Amino acid sequence: MTEILDCRGQRCPLPVIALARRLPELPVGATLRVLADDPAAATDIPAWCRMRGQHYLGSPETHAFDVRRDV
Amino acid sequence: MGVSEAYFDTASAAPLHPAARQALAAALDDGWADPARLYSRARRARQLLDAARGATAEVLGVRPDELSFTAGGTAAAHAAVLGALAARERVGRGLVHSAIEHSAVLHAAERHVAAGGTAHEVGVDRLGRVDLAAFADAAAQPGTALAALISASHEVGTVQPVEAAGEACAQHGVPLYVDAAQSVGRVPLPFGWSLLTASAHKWGGPPGVGLLVVRKGTRFVQTGPSEERTDRSTDLPAIVAAAASLRAAQAEAAALAERHRVLVDRIRATVAATVPDVEVVGDPADRLPHLVTFSCLYVDGEALLHALDRRGFAVSSGSSCTSSTLTPSHVLVAMGVLSHGNVRVSLHRDSTEADVDRFLAELPGIVADLRAEAGVVDL
Ligand SMILES: Cc1ncc(COP(=O)(O)O)c(C=O)c1O
């Protein structure tokens, strides 16, 4: 089951910070779904994954972003 | 000159060049009459306008009758896009443009779409360079009436492949419009375009003066007020100042670019080395000489901008929290680079090495303090 991190209503960089706090607490291979409606999240979540060597899986629906812990 | 702080936002507006100030004062005394009238004072105003047009055209390497003055870079961009499209309606109503055009061009595109036209946006790579193959492809589509490509990104500095795009467009008889606001008076202009615009306050001229060049043989109709053709309502003193400062800026451009290139290289290298978790964006080599952009992970762009302002550094930011619409810069989004914690530094002719070094010395502490306040150290 994918854990959900609800960051709706938060302005960037808060959703990215929440993601950075939560993802390392999950096992490698686990997926986290970040819900964020700040328009910057769609750019900044994939960018964070690239900078941190994590895997951005895509956006299954508006304001939802799936990230897999790779490292 | 009233710029005692380290002013690093030349890409928005350059401080007035001394040549502009001097010409403005002279033209206010001498150039206030209506240049369309027939008495001697009007003829004097007409001479000033003609001289300004001639000098500006010479710097741009175009004919004086290909150049008109507008009420700014935004007005020039609208006139170029909508005027070229209107003139080619018989061919089609398709506009092709890069994803990183200035909002002035994007707004003109929106207006074109609202009026029943189409717009095809072409993406850029991670460094902010347009996908040339996709651009050429889009230009080749039947119904494409105009293609627009910025000369170099106003946000990240990456120079665009204008000449190659122009060649591709020419093969299909499509005119290329180039928004050269960040290049004119600073770097040599590319060839291969049909329409070009610029903005005087980017090179040290006064605000509210734009340039529109329509090369001979390019279909074009005037879409806005038709005053400029008769030069009735132009801001003559401002135009005279724009022309004088463009000539002065052009004369200094090569030496200034060399100096700025060194300082920007230093900023790029030092920021990457001294600020943890920073992304310096844009092409490191093929870029405007005076401009650099970077993003600091976990930092609020607005807080960073204010913290820098308190230390006497004026910079701009593409972060969403600093924009009136609360959306991140469409340029950073198109590149897929971090958009929060973003800072754009752009230098002017009086920016000093000491200003830059003070900025580089203070930035790591400012970013560290903001991260500590937000509790995001070691994330
Ligand atoms: C690339 C570019 N195009 C157009 C403009 C608009 O020019 P102006 O401020 O004169 O309306 C600007 C300035 O913001 C710019 O940087």
Q: Does B298 touch chain A (CB under 8 A)?
A: yes
Residue B2 has pLDDT above 50, yes or no: no
Task: Report pLDDT digits (tens) over B113-138.
Answer: 999 999 999 999 999 999 999 999 99
Ligand 1 centroid – CA B242 distance (Å): 15
Residue B4 has pLDDT above 70, yes or no: no
Nearest CB to B339 within list A17, A43, A51 = A43
What is the token pair recorded at B334?
């198109």
Residue B301 has pLDDT above 80, yes or no: yes
Give the sheet arrangement for strand A31-35, strand by strand.
A3-6, A31-35, A64-68, A55-58
Q: What is the CATH number of the domain that holds A53?
A: 3.30.110.40
Average pLDDT, chain B: 95
Q: Whose CA is nearest to atom 15 of ligand 1?
A: B181
Name B62's Cβ contacts closer than 8 Å, sequence gap at least 6. B213, B215
Instruction: Give B6-14+253-374's CATH code, choosing from 3.40.50.12780, 3.90.1150.10, 3.40.225.10, 3.40.50.2300.
Output: 3.90.1150.10
ipTM of the complex: 0.97
Residues of A in contact with B299 (CB under 8 A): 13
Q: Whose CA is nearest to atom 5 of ligand 1?
A: B73
Phi, psi of B48 (to 5 degrees): -60, -45
Position B231 scores a pLDDT of 53
- Does residue B147's CB lie within 6 angstroms of at least one atom of ligand 1? no
- Does residue B283's CB lie within 6 angstroms of at least one atom of ligand 1? no
Output the CA torsion sign for B81, B82, B86, B90.
positive
Output the CA torsion sign for B32, B36, B40, B45.
positive
Nearest CB to B379 within list A17, A39, A44 = A17
Distance separating alpha carbons of residues B77 and A10, to the nearest angstrom: 36
Where are any strands of DSSP class E within chain B? 6-7, 67-70, 94-98, 118-122, 144-150, 176-179, 195-199, 210-214, 278-281, 291-296, 313-314, 342-346
Residues of the domain holding A13 = 2-69
Closest CA to B218 of B51, B52, B79: B79
Position B232 scores a pLDDT of 56
CATH class of B18-249: alpha beta
Cβ B345 vs Cβ B267: under 8 Å: yes
Where are any strands of DSSP class E within B215-356? 278-281, 291-296, 313-314, 342-346
Our count of domains for chain A comes to: 1
Atom of ligand 1 nearest to the CA of B201: 10
Q: Does B161 touch chain A (CB under 8 A)?
A: no
Q: Of the residues B28, B42, B99, B321, which is catalytic?
A: B321
Stated length of chain B: 379
- Does residue B104's CB lie within 6 angstroms of at least one atom of ligand 1? yes
Position B230 scores a pLDDT of 45
Residue B349 has pLDDT above 90, yes or no: yes
Q: Does A25 touch chain B (CB under 8 A)?
A: no
Task: Report pLDDT digits (tens) over B187-243.
Answer: 999 999 999 999 999 999 999 999 999 999 999 998 876 545 445 567 999 999 999
Ranges of each domain in chain B: 6-14+253-374, 18-249
The amino acid at residue B134 is A
